[in-house]
Amino acid sequence: MIRHALMIAAAGLALVAAPSLAQSPADGHGPAHHAHGHAHADFASDRLHVRVEGEGQDVILIPGLSSSPEIWQGTVDRLGGGYRIHRVHVNGFAGAPAGANAEGPVSAPVAEEIARYIADQGLERPAVIGHSMGGTIAMMLAARHPDAVGRLMVVDMIPFMGAMFGPPGTTAESVAPVAEQVYAAQSGSPRETWLAQAEQTIIGMIQTESEREGPLRHSRASDQQVSAAAFRELIVTDLRPELPAITAPTEVLYVKFNDPRMTSEITDMIYQMSFQTLPGAELTRVDDAAHFIMLDQPDLFAERVRAFLE
């Protein structure tokens, strides 16, 4: 039963790391780019740059694979004042030049850069919210630098995707060949193939039709090789043994897997199993939403974030 549920869920959670669609940036984002009307933090990194706005409680927002910080705009608008928002833009995604993310892992070094950012900027245990791959980065940050994170929210991500790509007892090591196959297929596909696949992927990730164009644009402006490498890394990253190191109060928001054979109960079971090494985590399923919860249920999501921050 459990194994069957995991296999069914694989197709749905694979959407968490949708492939990117372009070979090069499209809109000139970069650490020194200020034409968007927002300020960038004075922080030099070849892995990321950070948009900063507002005053008050520090909140770090980390988007997912091939995503832009723009996905948080509705949430930021609804939260209103009283917060200093730090929106991470991962290099290689949504128009940002690949930089050091052009080779090797992405999530782990980005997590280390965010830890360095927190220390460099003198932030006092900020709240950290990560969506999808951003949730993986947030969990890495909170587990490996527990004193740096005050509160942790993971949005629609489990700590080990690799469990869905192999038999019972799958480990990061045993699923590595599968990850390499997935990487080869993603990195080597013609751009036109990815363009067609992304359209269908985004449709499955966002129920609200009017909200799909932004994520589609972000994917088209991402670096295909960076996204493929990041997806491979997600498959072989097992954070379950590291979860007990997390000391920050943790909330996990998730949706039912996007597969007609899945039920809410099976989805609940998978999340409960996945986070059982972090018994204090609060797990909450959000209905009537797909993977981008903040786009499908913006008011409810903002309410949950506000309660989480308070």
Q: For residue 176, what are the contacts with CB-CB under 8 A and spacing of at least 6?
A: 236
Do strands 56-62 and 82-90 pair parallel, antiparallel, or not at all (unpaired)? Answer: parallel
| Secondary structure (3-state) at 33 | coil
One DSSP character per residue, 81-112 reads SEEEEEEEEETTSTT---GGGGSS-SHHHHHH
**Is the Cβ–Cβ distance between 171 and 240 less than 8 Å?**
no
223 forms beta bridges with: 22
pLDDT of residue 194: 73
**Is the Cβ–Cβ distance between 230 and 107 less than 8 Å?**
yes
- 71, 85, 186, 54: which is closest to 131 by C-alpha? 71
For 193, which DSSP code? H
pLDDT of residue 32: 39
- 72, 197, 202: which is closest to 128 by C-alpha? 72
pLDDT surpassing 60 at residue 6: no
pLDDT of residue 65: 93
Cα separation, 66 vs 184, whole angstroms:
18
**Is the Cβ–Cβ distance between 281 and 138 less than 8 Å?**
no
| Secondary structure (3-state) at 50 | strand
Do strands 151-155 and 82-90 pair parallel, antiparallel, or not at all (unpaired)? Answer: unpaired
Q: For residue 36, what are the contacts with CB-CB under 8 A and spacing of at least 6?
A: 51
Give CA 182 to chain center in angstroms: 19
Lowest mean pLDDT among 37-41, 61-65, 179-183: 37-41
Output the CA torsion sign for 109, 84, 131, 96: negative
- 289, 284, 290: which is closest to 304 by C-alpha? 284
Domains with residue ranges and CATH for the chain: 2-309 (3.40.50.1820)
Cα separation, 270 vs 252, whole angstroms:
13
Lowest mean pLDDT among 61-75, 119-133, 250-264: 250-264
pLDDT of residue 260: 83
- Residue range 11-44, pLDDT digits in tens: 444 444 443 333 333 333 433 344 445 689 999 9
Tokens of 249: 């109060």
- Name the residue type at position 77: D
Instruction: Residue 196: count other Cβ atoms within 10 Å of its Cβ.
Output: 12
The pTM for the full model equals 0.91
pLDDT of residue 20: 35
pLDDT surpassing 50 at residue 212: yes
